[in-house]
Structure 1
Amino acid sequence: MSHPNRERADRILDAAGELLLRMGYRKVAVDDIARAVGIGKGTVYLHWRNKELLFQALMMRESADLTDEILGRIRADPATILPHRMISEAFLVTHRRPLVMAMLRGNADMFGSLGDLALRKQQDELRTQFEEAMLRRGLIRSDVPNLTYALNAATLGFYLGDTLSDEFDGIPLEDKAAVLAHLIRTAFEPPGEPDPAAVADVAAELSSALEELVSGYRQGIYAHDPTRAPG
């Protein structure tokens, strides 16, 4: 059974997310969030001591939900972990979350000092683990120089390209994801069909890493929730 305080915390985060997208981090005050939820400002502080912690909780919840979505896809089909599928699925899932997109694009106006969340460090560690597992099991080419840089640069262009020019606005999102998958498949994966045992292994390893990440996020979201722990 979900606790009423947890439900209230989620309502506060929902309101904070809407205001963040509309006004940007600097302009949103805790007062605005409280008013949107119909509670007093003091009640917001029962959950999070300050505005920064509240918005960190919001981004953790976004990241947890996004990661859960990707986990669901891996459980439904372990081959989702192949680089071209993983990267293009993540591209689609991320684009459907305006807050995550804004965070990714380092929208300083929207996020103030929140851009350097610990989330990024965890995601970098996860990416390293993903690449190492892929290399170990032969699911990614070992002859690509500066593999991490190459993958990152190839992928990031798809996220940031339309912020630099509106030339390609007419291309549907699904088509962009298909182009990304094609690029990763042809540039970074060995030719031929992947070994099903290798796919299953990496899927299991990655799933447990993602589950751990999600449970860490979920604990962090409500860290100041009075139903859980003092402080």
Structure 2
Amino acid sequence: MSHPNRERADRILDAAGELLLRMGYRKVAIDDIARAVGIGKGTVYLHWRNKELLFQALMMRESADTTGEVLAGIRADPAMILPHRMISASFLITHRRPLMTAMLRGNAEIFGALGDLALREQQDELRTQFEATMLRHGLVRSDVPNLTYALNASTLGFYVGNTLSDEFEDIPPEEKAEVLAYLIRTAFEPPGDPDPRAVAEVAAELGAALEELVSSYRQGIYAHDPTRAPG
């Protein structure tokens, strides 16, 4: 059974997320969040001692939920680990989460000073591992110059495209995901079918890394939660 304090923490984070999207980080006050949840300001501080930690927890929860969805897909079908499938699936999962979309676009209007807290270090480490593992097992081409930059630049355009121009905003997200999958498949993966054994090994290795990431996010979300006090 979940603890009432944990449920309250989640209600606080839900309200913080809605207010963040509506007002932006700079304008949201702890008072606003407390009012939206129907609790006193002091109760919010029981969970997180300042606004910055509260919003860090919100970003961790968003990242944990998003990564958890990707992980569930890999557990259901190891071939989802292939770059074209994983990158396009992540795009669609993120698209359904306005906060994650804003975070990945580096939306300064929404996040203000919070932009640097977006858990980038762990995500960069994971990306480095992802690419090294894919190369080692022959699931990405080894002749692409500056692979990290190439993959990042190719993918980022799908996230920020609408912020630069509204020319393509009528294209449904599912179609954009198909285009992204095609681009990654043809530009970055070797021709022919991948070796099923390599796919299984990579899915196991990277699945474990994603699991660890989700677990560390989950621990961080409630780091200041009274339910974590000794006893």
Task: Pick which of 112-121 and 4-13 moved more.
Answer: 112-121
Partner of 1:41: 41
Give me the whole-angstrom Cα distance separating, in 2, the residues matched to 1:229 and 1:63. 24
TM normalised by structure 1 equals 0.98
Note the aligned Cα RMSD (angstroms): 0.8
Partner of 2:207: 207
- Equivalent positions of 1:150-229 (< 5 A) are 150-229=150-229
Q: How many Å apart are 1:118 and its aligned residue?
A: 5.6
- What secondary structure is seen at the aligned counterpart in 1 of 2:228? coil
Partner of 1:82: 82
**Cα deviation digits, residues 102-129 of structure 1 (max 9, x gap):** 1111111211211112611111110010
Partner of 1:10: 10
Partner of 1:32: 32
The letter for the 1-side match of 2:16 is A
**Cα deviation digits, residues 53-84 of structure 1 (max 9, x gap):** 00000000000000110011001100000000
Partner of 2:69: 69
Do the aligned residues in 1 keep the contact of 2:56 with 2:118 (CA within 8 Å)? no
The letter for the 1-side match of 2:205 is E
Give me the whole-angstrom Cα distance separating, in 2, the residues matched to 1:51 and 1:109. 17
Q: Structure 1 unaligned segments of length 5 or more: list them.
A: none
Partner of 1:126: 126
1:142 aligns with 2:142: yes
Give me the whole-angstrom Cα distance separating, in 2, the residues matched to 1:227 and 1:164. 44
Give me the whole-angstrom Cα distance separating, in 1, the residues matched to 2:195 and 2:165. 40
Give me the whole-angstrom Cα distance separating, in 1, the residues matched to 2:48 and 2:209. 28
Do the aligned residues in 2 keep the contact of 1:223 with 1:229 (CA within 8 Å)? no
Do the aligned residues in 2 keep the contact of 1:71 with 1:207 (CA within 8 Å)? yes
Count of matched residue positions in the alignment of Structure 1 and Structure 2: 230
The letter for the 2-side match of 1:180 is L
Which segments of structure 1 move beyond 3 Å, counting only runs of 4 or more? none
Q: Structure 2 unaligned segments of length 5 or more: list them.
A: none
TM normalised by structure 2 equals 0.98
- What secondary structure is seen at the aligned counterpart in 1 of 2:200? helix
**Cα deviation digits, residues 25-51 of structure 1 (max 9, x gap):** 111100000000000000000000000
Give me the whole-angstrom Cα distance separating, in 2, the residues matched to 1:109 and 1:162. 16
Taking structure 1 as reference, are residues 118 and 109 closer, same or farther at Cα in structure 2, changes over 3 Å only? closer
Give me the whole-angstrom Cα distance separating, in 2, the residues matched to 1:156 and 1:87. 11
